[in-house]
Structure 1
Amino acid sequence: MSASSPRHLASRHLASLTLLRLAAAAVVVPAAAFTAPSVLAAQSGPALPKGMTRVTSVEGITEYRLQNGLRVLLAPDASKPTTTVNMTYMVGSRHENYGETGMAHLLEHMLFKGTPTLRNALGEFSRRGLRANGSTWTDRTNYFASFAANEDNLEWYLGWQADAMVNSLIARKDLDTEMTVVRNEMESGENNPFRILMSKMNAVAYQWHNYGKSTIGARSDVENVDISRLQAFYRTYYQPDNAVLIVSGAFDPAKTLTSISRTFGKLPKPKRALPPLYTVEPVQDGERSITLRRTGGTPLVAALYHVPQGSHPDATAVDLLSGILGDNPSGRLYKNLVESRLAAATFGFTFDSHDPGTVMFGAQLASPAQQDAAREAMLKTLESIKTEPITEEELERARTKWLKDWDAAYSDPQKVGVSLSESIAIGDWRTFFLARDRVRAIKLADVQRVAESYLLQSNRTLGAYVPTDAPQRAPAPKAFDLDKELNGYTGDKDYAQAEAFDPTPANLDARTQRKTLDLPNGPVQLALLEKSTRGRVVNARLSLQFGDADSLKGKMDVSRAVSALVYRGTPTLTRQQIDDKFDALRTDVSFAGSGTDLSVNITTTRDNLAPAVALVMDILRNASFPEAQLDEYQRGELASIEDDRQEPDEVARRTLARHGNPWPAGDVRYVQTFEEKAAAINGLKREDLVAFYNQFYGAGKVRFVAVGDFDGKAVEQSLTKGLEGWKTAPSYTRVSDPFHPVEPKQFDLPLPDKANAFYAATMPMPVQDTNADYPALYVANYLLGTSETSRLWTRVREKEGLSYNVRSALNVSLYEPTADWTVYAIYAPSNRAKLETAIKEELARAAKDGFTDAEVKDGIASIMSLRKLTRAQDRAVVRTWAEYLELGRTFAFSADLDRKMQALTTDQVNTVLRKYLKPEAFSSAAAGDFRAK
């Protein structure tokens, strides 16, 4: 449950910001405009229940409508045995009146509080193993759930959505308990300087339109909301004719339509008329500015420009322009600010929306002293396109990246449902495909024209005010006929459904080819699971292991830097050229290391896996570690460290990790202070990276896992050729981290000017995942604090409303008897005493009284459903096979764990719980601003 924002804004570190590319955007079109008789006549599909009509179909996605106005989209895809359901209501912060800010988001929370027939929706989701949530943004509110394909769960969830649509209680007592939770979420956002700056800039950029108001709402409006007014808001907008239901993934279309007709068809067509919205933001006639001053974080400069609505043809050019200017490392801002050392990171993204929106650019700085120079360089880059035109090379690079992201969304049954939901929120779901077509067809002249029209001084909101004698005005938005452009639109003809795959452990083992490539310089373990997928997508991981605890002494920071920089250049390829090659192969790749290993994660398509592997091997064998890239890495890491020093969760977690760490400085298992980490990053030298790389990187201990649509023989050949002649790495020995007792201690960690606080408590245990007690511990932890029916969640989140998120986590080693049990929560500093008391009381109650038969039965059923859902995710299967290859396991281990958990009795779970759960043995840390106010 959240007040949504563009995808990358959740990141705390701007150094990791990437270009936002929304796959679709549209304006709302009249209901009658959806019908295209010439298209419908050629369609075929399941027989329709009485009162339901088929409207249109594009690339395997079909729209239907009930007589009460509810629109339904079915996007069947049997390639993964999971189902995702999205219910989108066309109501967001744009629809709120004076005194109502935050009301759409508050309603999103309240819908989960219950109806007369179900009082705890989140608890039932958890019991059934559904991954469900909701989110609110400017133009829509949506509720979504993913689960292992199951007709009973689908029928139940559809029934709950229909019930919640018209029967939610929206009760005063529920509002009172939820209020602290909403405030907690609000305060969590206030901890992030970038999110606050973005909100303030939007408020300055819009004089009249509601896009200038934050979705989370004004504190006074939220805290003083009138319950009758909230109920009236609900009755107005939560109706069939203002909603679109999307079902994607594996399901029976005919049965699903029947279920939808049975659950939603009985709802009456509303008699009320939706309130008209007619406020239009006038053209901005002069630059505006805002300066924000807060404690912590790193300096930022940013610029915001008004642009057309997301459905406008010019919005396509704006999306691509945001990549051309803001992408890393190809973007102009990156080249002019990061490479010149004026900034640590740059970004650019659009706010695609129903009404005319904005595009935002900016930079994260390493020092306040750079602010004036960085702002000047940023503005010169953004507003000089007339004299420094966009090039064909820049356009093609941005187009390739955009289409790669679109392919990734379309190929995933869960992502496509969310993408369609976003398209619906701002108009018509078919613009999901129309946007792709526009990107394919756009010309350089269109991008150049849009840049010159909207990236103007007079159209800008900035962190400084600069008067001008002759302001330029951006063109006023003009209406266009979207319905005419979509009339008869059918999208690509060349699409195909994938196979229905059974993700049971037995089938995963049976379908996976496990073998060893015996190469002269060392063996390569393989686990290859070939199957057809939507979009012919494949996920893979290449792993190298080397060295041991002794050979890595004093080299942990160097090892991490090498793994982060190994792909940033070779003697023949720059970082930009490497990125371009991966983009051309429609491949997402990431490199990560933790001392004695390097993992390369690859997501691509069937025809591109072998060449992507070849490119990865070329990079690994010929890394050159350019000095400029090391310098950029150091600045980015140092900026992140500065952010972490003021982040309550980072401070609390690091404090506890250091308290429980027995290893001396220099050991790969040692936990550094912020100061030690910064000093180590500052001290990195290119010659040290090169020396480490030459000593440790090579063949010898190599594994490769692939799951999806690929040619196994071609991949083997690519690996064999890529490893041929590579030196053998030093022998690998796993670095052990055995159990050791830790004296309990409580830490009070003051952080001034932080609106949100963080609590964490941890206790070590001598347990491995092969331990006979592990199945019962797994269940006990789930019931204690993992699920939405858990003891901690029910007490702290639901009953007392003290925390937006409270959880427990069980981290158990796969290699040796060592584990830790952790509890954590975010909360308002003023609620510290109540929250810590509630957590301690629930831990003590669980240890004393144990769990009930009903809790254990429902918990195990939920766990089984979630584990089945996880095994249906290709990336999770890749990750698991990578672990199993090293451990000599198969998915029979996973099946055995399932059987052991299913056979557990309540007494067995409670016996193991009492054996290990010792509330007095937890060390805890509370970080935040606890000064009396």
Structure 2
Amino acid sequence: MSCKAFRLAVVLLGAAGLLSGPARAAARLEAQAAGVSAHVLDNGFKIILLPVANAATARVELLVKVGSKQEGYGETGMAHLLEHMLFKGAGRHADLKSALNALGATWNGTTTAERTNFFATVRADPAKVDALIRLEADRFLRPNFAPADLASEMTVVRNELERRDSDPDSLVTRALRRQSYFWHGYGRPTIGARSDIEGAPFAALQAFQRRYYRPDNALLVVSGQIDAARVLALAEAEFGHAARPADPLPGNWTREEARPQTNRSELFGDAGKVIAASAWKLPGGKLRQTLAIDLASPALCAAAWGKLRREAVEVPQAALGMTCHVDAWPDYSLFVARASAGEQADADGLMRRMHGQLERVVRSGLGEAQLERARSKALAALARLGQSHEALAAQLAEAEVAGDWRLFFRRREILAELTLDEVNTALRTWLIDINRSDVLLRQCDGRKLPPSPPAPALAELAGRDWPAIAVSGAALPASFDELAEQVVSLPLPDAGQAALLARQTRGNQAWLSIANDYGNLPALTGRRDACALAGSLLAQGGGGLGRNQFERRLEALQARWTLGLGGLSLEAPRANIEAALDLLLDAWKSPLLPAAEFESQKRARLAQLRAAQKDPVQLAANAVARRFDNYPAGHPYQTRSLAQAVDAVEKVEMDDVRACLADFGGRSQIRLAMVGDFSEADVAATWARLRELPAASQPYQRIGEAAPPPTVDRTPLEFVAVERPNAEVRGLALLPISPDAADYPALKIAVSLLGGGSDSRIRQRLRERAGLAYTAGATLSGGDFGPRSRLAVSSSVASVQAAAALALLQEEVAQALAEGFTAAEVERAQAAWQEARARSLASEGALVGQLLQGMQSGRDFAWQAEFDRRIAALTAAEVTAALRRHLAPAALVWSVARGE
């Protein structure tokens, strides 16, 4: 650290009252349960540990209990802005993002109404875990951000606000919250007011940090394959010297009056659709009544079986979609229902229909079967958390913010205990018209809303324990070479191939995917939309079962699945795989094909396309893509205009869907991938089931990708919309190269250095130095079946900064071509690549998809391992030469989608 940086750190620490004091005593064990332990230092700092044997990764989260709820006048958005600032330099680190990248970490920070957190996941290496803990201690105790950082980051946060201002769903959500809370901080969006983002002085940000970033208001959550004693000792050493300020924490006493009322606001925008949304205020998220309504939500709005969804969506010409859920927060919660329809729909009628249907459902109440189905899904979802220590640690941290991390386990118990009478009583108590906000003050008839009951005492949690929830499995392969050795490839009789990865997975989960490669160019020409609808209708039930029954049986088997013309995917406990597969194959053989669902999906697709015709971002993307289109009309890969797509979907009839199923709905060329506790005999048995499917009437022949057109119109494109504060600036080129080409690895690294991460040139220039962009970067996607790779450069900025962003992007591309890359840059990118590849091995569920892709393209795990070795051997000269060879002659088409 430079002397200047050290002085700034001391100033900040002194101002915050966190300068190191005398050595502190060892952490005190506060509580332990279900394999989790919580420890508290003398200064109030808490450490929660969740060790998981044989986990492939470790996760470290620093959480501070401050969010938008605590912000005062002129401070809106300050918690979120401070989150951004705390990714600058700190203590031993000149740049925290670069330090995290150097560790190969997957990292982020988030801010909610209640808390701010910073979290990172690394491979399970004790040295990396130590480094993360020291980094978070520096972030918390020794931040180095300066006024210049605020000037730069403020514009980035403002751009994030403008992105949300361009999203109609975000606008509706924020309006609902404002209508629901008169005084409480939950009514303020976390992103803050533009005036506060732009005008908050640096001193105010420092004061906000001093007020809330203190050891008695923060905690560290460490999970995964960790040495708990080592982690605890290091956390004591790093955080134990922080002094607890003499002043008490600011209080939290603002409450809403239980006043009977209905609030309404109306928004106007050219969004291409109408939305009706309502919110009913509930007690805090840890109370039984709120948990009861949360449990009931799927029974009301689940796509296949919810009572509201059936009445609102399945009625012709009603809503295109309807959802409901509970936003559960510690002080209050909201039950939110939302319906959408095409732009010509009657918005008032849509709102009345939604309210009327909800009132009828609440009056009649849920049935026992519906409740048990919802309970089964909720408990299964909680049980699945045990397979991911990262997800489980995040849930424990949120429970701690609500009062105590053990509330997570108590919530599971309450969900299992709730009776049908409790659930229906909660629905009738809270989902009433005098407790609603719509996005009209109505005169009430004297009824009153009951006050929120007091929060439950947490004493009942003391001394409790629960069975461990985190589950272990066999150690994951450490490399693609090791994976390649473990995969068994098996030819399938007739036409097909299989790949088996037999292993003991976490929680004994299993994955099975079947790719059904179907059709040929003549047979598929002009049938894209009909066959797309046919594929989606396959998932609507079959084998004598309606969609509701079909999904219910799969839910009982704890299955997650997809089904379409291109095959199926299935994840379930190993013991349930065969039964779930039989259900899916029965639906494949004899699909239900409900005509009403066909009409609903067709309307939804048309509404989506018509909305895109008014979105400058989608218009620009479509126009650029058509510049590169060199496929004949009707070709499956042809890029159509949005108007052509609308016309094509309008012409699709149910007979066209049936014709697609008749031609392609049977078994064609099969690729079968299985991951889990399977044997070769299980593969043979699965193939025997698949052979019972009728053969497709049309033969399969792969459709190759054409090389990009030799000449392309490079004239820049611009699309403008009224009242759109955010702009998207993009450049697109199609390159005649495939991932199998000799210099593709070098080109991949070159694009990564140009715009692939937070250390890339584009990101550093537009976000970190210029402060223009919320997102900025470049990507390279290789073609699957031909030399047609996609290079995209993009940035999201304020509309008034679109021209400046375009100039900077073009300048960075030109500079990379002119100057090339240094050896240090290439070495950094190679290290980041290897870390990312190693992390990719940690997801068991992703392996089945990689097996399928490898069988199709030939790029199997052995190919991946060789690709990594080619990446590791690259020189700066090779990387620079590849970029010049492929990007310099390419047609890079720029587009701007902005507001006036």
If the length of structure 1 is used for normalisation, what is the TM-score?
0.90
- Runs of 4 or more above 6 Å deviation: none
Question: Aligned letter for 1:838?
Answer: L
Matched, 1:636 2:604: yes
Specify whether residues 268 and 712 from structure 1 end up closer, same or farther in structure 2 by C-alpha distance, changes over 3 A only: farther
Q: How does 1:308-323 map to 2 (within 5 A)?
A: 308-323=283-298
Indicate conservation of the 8 Å contact 2:366/2:424, yes or no.
Answer: yes
Alpha-carbon shift at residue 692 of structure 1 (Å): 0.9
Q: Aligned residue for 1:821?
A: 791
After superposition, the C-alpha distances for 1:76-113 in whole angstroms (9 at most, x for unaligned) are: 22454122222221111111111111111111111002
Q: Aligned residue for 1:588?
A: 560
Superposition CA RMSD, Å: 2.0
Q: Aligned residue for 1:106?
A: 81
Q: Aligned residue for 2:163?
A: 188
Q: How does 1:495-644 map to 2 (within 5 A)?
A: 496-518=471-493, 522-570=494-542, 572-591=544-563, 598-644=566-612
Indicate conservation of the 8 Å contact 1:459/1:473, yes or no.
Answer: no
Indicate conservation of the 8 Å contact 2:749/2:826, yes or no.
Answer: yes
Matched, 1:887 2:857: yes
Matched, 1:873 2:843: yes
Task: Select the residue among 325, 329, 347 that pairs with 2:300.
Answer: 325
Matched, 1:245 2:184: no
CA distance in 2, matches of 1:602, 1:649: 35
Question: Aligned letter for 2:827?
Answer: K
Question: Aligned letter for 1:674?
Answer: L
Alpha-carbon shift at residue 116 of structure 1 (Å): 4.8
Alpha-carbon shift at residue 250 of structure 1 (Å): 2.4
CA distance in 2, matches of 1:181, 1:634: 39
CA distance in 2, matches of 1:624, 1:344: 21
Q: How does 1:252-271 map to 2 (within 5 A)?
A: 252-271=227-246
CA distance in 2, matches of 1:711, 1:399: 34
Alpha-carbon shift at residue 443 of structure 1 (Å): 0.6
CA distance in 2, matches of 1:132, 1:655: 35
Q: Aligned residue for 2:331?
A: 355
CA distance in 1, matches of 2:754, 2:123: 24
Q: Aligned residue for 1:223?
A: 198
Q: Aligned residue for 2:18?
A: none
Q: How does 1:280-319 map to 2 (within 5 A)?
A: 280-319=255-294
If the length of structure 2 is used for normalisation, what is the TM-score?
0.94
Specify whether residues 591 and 238 from structure 1 end up closer, same or farther in structure 2 by C-alpha distance, changes over 3 A only: farther
Structure 2: unaligned runs, 5 residues or longer = 1-23
Task: Select the residue among 609, 618, 642 that pairs with 1:674.
Answer: 642
Alpha-carbon shift at residue 836 of structure 1 (Å): 0.8
Indicate conservation of the 8 Å contact 2:662/2:697, yes or no.
Answer: no
Matched, 1:834 2:804: yes
CA distance in 2, matches of 1:296, 1:650: 13
Indicate conservation of the 8 Å contact 1:545/1:732, yes or no.
Answer: yes
Specify whether residues 567 and 386 from structure 1 end up closer, same or farther in structure 2 by C-alpha distance, changes over 3 A only: closer
CA distance in 1, matches of 2:715, 2:485: 49
Alpha-carbon shift at residue 203 of structure 1 (Å): 0.7
CA distance in 1, matches of 2:466, 2:31: 12
Indicate conservation of the 8 Å contact 1:182/1:804, yes or no.
Answer: yes
Q: How does 1:419-818 map to 2 (within 5 A)?
A: 419-463=395-439, 465=440, 467-492=442-467, 496-518=471-493, 522-570=494-542, 572-591=544-563, 598-709=566-677, 713-714=681-682, 716-724=684-692, 726-728=694-696, 730-740=698-708, 741-743=710-712, 744-818=714-788
Q: Aligned residue for 2:19?
A: none
Q: Aligned residue for 2:876?
A: 906
CA distance in 2, matches of 1:546, 1:57: 55
Count of equivalent residues: 874
**RCO higher in structure (CA 8 A, sep ≥6):** 1
Specify whether residues 141 and 708 from structure 1 end up closer, same or farther in structure 2 by C-alpha distance, changes over 3 A only: farther
CA distance in 1, matches of 2:496, 2:216: 58
Alpha-carbon shift at residue 911 of structure 1 (Å): 1.8
Q: Percent identity?
A: 29
Alpha-carbon shift at residue 517 of structure 1 (Å): 3.5
Matched, 1:417 2:393: yes
Question: Aligned letter for 1:821?
Answer: L
User: Secondary structure of the residue that 1:808 maps to in structure 2?
Assistant: strand
Indicate conservation of the 8 Å contact 1:114/1:169, yes or no.
Answer: yes
Indicate conservation of the 8 Å contact 1:302/1:362, yes or no.
Answer: yes
Indicate conservation of the 8 Å contact 1:434/1:491, yes or no.
Answer: no
Indicate conservation of the 8 Å contact 1:617/1:723, yes or no.
Answer: no
CA distance in 1, matches of 2:216, 2:497: 56
CA distance in 2, matches of 1:209, 1:276: 13
Question: Aligned letter for 2:485?
Answer: A
Task: Select the residue among 407, 410, 421 that pairs with 2:383.
Answer: 407
Alpha-carbon shift at residue 127 of structure 1 (Å): 3.2
Alpha-carbon shift at residue 275 of structure 1 (Å): 0.4
Alpha-carbon shift at residue 325 of structure 1 (Å): 1.7
CA distance in 1, matches of 2:687, 2:449: 54
Q: Aligned residue for 1:44?
A: none
Structure 1: unaligned runs, 5 residues or longer = 1-48
Question: Aligned letter for 2:402?
Answer: I
CA distance in 1, matches of 2:345, 2:364: 28
Alpha-carbon shift at residue 752 of structure 1 (Å): 2.1
Indicate conservation of the 8 Å contact 2:387/2:471, yes or no.
Answer: no
Question: Aligned letter for 2:638?
Answer: Y
Indicate conservation of the 8 Å contact 2:563/2:584, yes or no.
Answer: no
CA distance in 1, matches of 2:374, 2:595: 27
Specify whether residues 219 and 724 from structure 1 end up closer, same or farther in structure 2 by C-alpha distance, changes over 3 A only: same
Q: Aligned residue for 1:233?
A: 208
Q: How does 1:36-47 map to 2 (within 5 A)?
A: none
Alpha-carbon shift at residue 263 of structure 1 (Å): 2.6
Alpha-carbon shift at residue 919 of structure 1 (Å): 7.9
After superposition, the C-alpha distances for 1:17-60 in whole angstroms (9 at most, x for unaligned) are: xxxxxxxxxxxxxxxxxxxxxxxxxxxxxxxx961233322322
Q: Aligned residue for 1:392?
A: 368
Q: Aligned residue for 1:14?
A: none
Indicate conservation of the 8 Å contact 1:306/1:460, yes or no.
Answer: yes
After superposition, the C-alpha distances for 1:728-775 in whole angstroms (9 at most, x for unaligned) are: 453322211121234223111112222211111112222111111011
CA distance in 1, matches of 2:475, 2:423: 42
Specify whether residues 888 and 663 from structure 1 end up closer, same or farther in structure 2 by C-alpha distance, changes over 3 A only: closer
Specify whether residues 299 and 709 from structure 1 end up closer, same or farther in structure 2 by C-alpha distance, changes over 3 A only: farther
Q: Which moved more, 1:868-877 or 1:895-904?
A: 868-877
Q: Aligned residue for 1:35?
A: none
Indicate conservation of the 8 Å contact 1:587/1:604, yes or no.
Answer: yes
Specify whether residues 616 and 725 from structure 1 end up closer, same or farther in structure 2 by C-alpha distance, changes over 3 A only: closer
Q: How does 1:65-80 map to 2 (within 5 A)?
A: 65-80=40-55
Specify whether residues 471 and 226 from structure 1 end up closer, same or farther in structure 2 by C-alpha distance, changes over 3 A only: farther
Question: Aligned letter for 2:69?
Answer: R
Alpha-carbon shift at residue 276 of structure 1 (Å): 0.6
Indicate conservation of the 8 Å contact 1:661/1:671, yes or no.
Answer: yes
Indicate conservation of the 8 Å contact 2:290/2:333, yes or no.
Answer: no
Alpha-carbon shift at residue 304 of structure 1 (Å): 0.7
Alpha-carbon shift at residue 137 of structure 1 (Å): 0.7
Specify whether residues 316 and 525 from structure 1 end up closer, same or farther in structure 2 by C-alpha distance, changes over 3 A only: same
Alpha-carbon shift at residue 725 of structure 1 (Å): 5.1
CA distance in 2, matches of 1:523, 1:536: 31
CA distance in 2, matches of 1:556, 1:92: 47
After superposition, the C-alpha distances for 1:321-353 in whole angstroms (9 at most, x for unaligned) are: 222222213222211111113100001011110
Alpha-carbon shift at residue 849 of structure 1 (Å): 0.7
Q: Which moved more, 1:666-675 or 1:382-391?
A: 382-391
Question: Aligned letter for 1:736?
Answer: G
User: Secondary structure of the residue that 1:566 maps to in structure 2?
Assistant: helix
